[in-house]
Amino acid sequence: MPAVPPFDPATLREVARILGDTKSGLSNRELDEILHEAGIDDPSPKSKTPYTYVAISKRDRLFAAIEARQGHDQAANAVLKLIECAMHPVRYRDNSALFEERRDELNVALAFAGLMLAETGKVARRSEVATTLDEARARSRRLRRRLLDRGVHPRILAACASEIADENYFHTVLEAAKSLAAEIREKTRLTADGLDLLNQALEPGQRHYPLLACNALQTPTDWSEQRGLTQMLRGVFSAFRNPTAHEPKVGWFLSEQDALDALSLMSWLHRKLDASVLTAATTASAAPP
């Protein structure tokens, strides 16, 4: 790659933070290896005892090394080589999830320099430079990629496109829950919402049969499945739609893992709704068992 202009200090700090994170970053021994592979000197004071290190955090140690080398070269190429050494896919043969996590975080930082880290572990140029954090995060596309890997229902991807692009877990889950209600209204032509909608669409009531059925409703097992689907939809509305709709975002924390699990559940419910049909007879003589 031709000479790459030096990164600003904030970008260097972010690279050092990601790779030298206390909990999920590289170990000091791994930092020794990648600094050597990248040909970058380590200016931090050395301990006299093998495999022990002076009282400096890994991220500060790494920042000092890449800042000094970049200052000497007046280019960021050595920093990019270090990133490629640290992100060589073979290092993650037993932990692909960690590779994707680090790669996505690095891509947010690199987007501000018009660069990206590919799945091969190699740095490449982007067509545009990100100028805002929202742009950088959207280009990382971590949440969308993980949802695609899980085979999440297309209706969720469509209903939550902007929230997914922003990696906004709070509002992604809210919009996904809304999409379930929208699909039930579309199938039944009902106008209610929330739990009232579920009662009108999925409960037998005085009709003996529900308006929307997930199977033939001919056996106790069929009815058990219908009740289970209804209860799961109630649980989603109560656990995700109501809190996210009524509580301020700052007061309702949702982690990425929780969001992924919730969206997978809602995806399954969408598939059950896809297979559900309107009942032909609404006044059958036999009540549900």
- 3-state SS track over 246-285: HCCHHHCCCCHHHHHHHHHHHHHHHHHHHHCEECCCCCCC
pLDDT tens-digit series, residues 187-233: 999 999 999 999 999 998 777 889 999 999 999 999 999 999 999 99
**Would you say residue 54 has pLDDT above 70?**
no
At residue 96, the pLDDT reads 82
80-86-91 Cα angle (round to 5) = 145
Q: DSSP letters of 209-255? A: S-SEESS---SHHHHHHHHHHHHHHHHHIIIIIHHHHHS-GGGS---
For the stretch 64-70, contacts whose Cβ atoms lie closer than 8 Å and that sit 24 or more positions apart, written own/partner, are 65/35, 65/40, 65/41, 66/12, 66/15, 66/16, 66/40, 67/9, 67/12, 68/41, 68/43, 69/40, 69/41, 70/6, 70/7, 70/12
Report domain extents, the chain. 9-140, 156-278
Average pLDDT over residues 13-18: 94
Instruction: Please give the structure tokens belonging to residue 288.
Output: 């549900």
Residue 188 near residue 212, CB atoms below 8 Å: yes
**Would you say residue 61 has pLDDT above 80?**
yes
Residue 27 near residue 62, CB atoms below 8 Å: no
Global model pTM greater than 0.85: no
Instruction: Please give the structure tokens belonging to residue 118.
Output: 């590919």
Alpha helices (runs of H) in 52-168, residue ranges in sequence order: 58-73, 77-86, 96-111, 133-140, 142-149, 154-159, 161-165
Q: Of 126-130, 145-149, 180-184, 204-208, where does the model show the most confidence?
A: 180-184
**Would you say residue 46 has pLDDT above 70?**
no
What percent of the chain has a predicted confidence (pLDDT) above 70? 85
Q: With cut-offs at 50, 70 and 90, classify the pLDDT of residue 38.
A: very high
SS3 (DSSP) at 115: strand
Q: With cut-offs at 50, 70 and 90, classify the pLDDT of residue 248.
A: low
How many other β-carbons are positioned within 10 Å of the β-carbon of residue 246? 8
